[in-house]
Copies of this chain bind each other. A is one copy, B any other.
Amino acid sequence: MGKIDENKKRKKETLFNSAYELFLSKGINSTAISDIVEKAGVAKGTFYLYFKDKYDIRNKLIVHKTHELFRAAKSALDDAQVSGLDAQLIFIMDHIIDTLVVNIPLLNFISKNLVMGALRSVLLTGESTDADFYEIFLDMVSQDPYEYEDVDVMLFTIVELAGSAGYNSILYKEPLPIHQYKPFLYRSVRLIIDSHRVKNIS
């Protein structure tokens, strides 16, 4: 029985990987389900045993890949012993940007879906066995010496800014290539974080 389930899982993963490679290389619109199953070496009907349609597998891929990006960044952060919420957030941001700079197809794929859209899906789908990234962020916030108000808003604003501006800067090198834009981006992020700090008047 375990063997059968293993087989099923392997089949699903093969489809997953095949779709991923095709989405990156040919784009989603140009990838047919027949392409995916051919690359995966399974029959067409099999696809429908595991996924509802092309957009189902696409969404699951985006969530999965976004997770991977954050997980790798968080893991590096843990190794790096960075202190201070702003430094930590920027570290994560920087790690993700550096990953995407050398993987433009992936950037294009998750592109602007990177941000809230994907995070929302992550939160909504109970499938994920991964740690919840939202909680990880809250953790980081709570461990900072400063106190913050409207944390949701702060995280949202930062993620949107970094996602959108980063995407365009990497892809179009306008108004500056990403390595030149980074200082400005990070300065803005620090300002936003700072603006959410609760300043004791005492």
Q: Which residues of A contact B (CB under 8 A)?
A: 112, 115-117, 120, 150, 152-153, 155-157, 160-161, 163-165, 168-169, 172, 174-176, 181, 184-185, 187-188, 191-192, 195
Chain B residues contacting A192 (CB-CB under 8 Å) are 188, 191
Chain B residues contacting A188 (CB-CB under 8 Å) are 157, 161, 188, 191-192, 195
Sort A-B residue pairs by CB-CB distance and give the 8 closest, nearest first. Answer: A164-B164, A152-B175, A160-B165, A160-B164, A191-B191, A161-B161, A116-B168, A156-B175
Check B160–A116 contact: CB distance below 8 A.
no
Query: In whole Å, how far is A40's beta carbon from the nearest beta carbon of chain B?
Result: 20
Q: Residue A161 contacts which of B117, B157, B169, B187 (CB distance < 8 angstroms)?
A: B157
Chain B residues contacting A160 (CB-CB under 8 Å) are 161, 164-165, 168
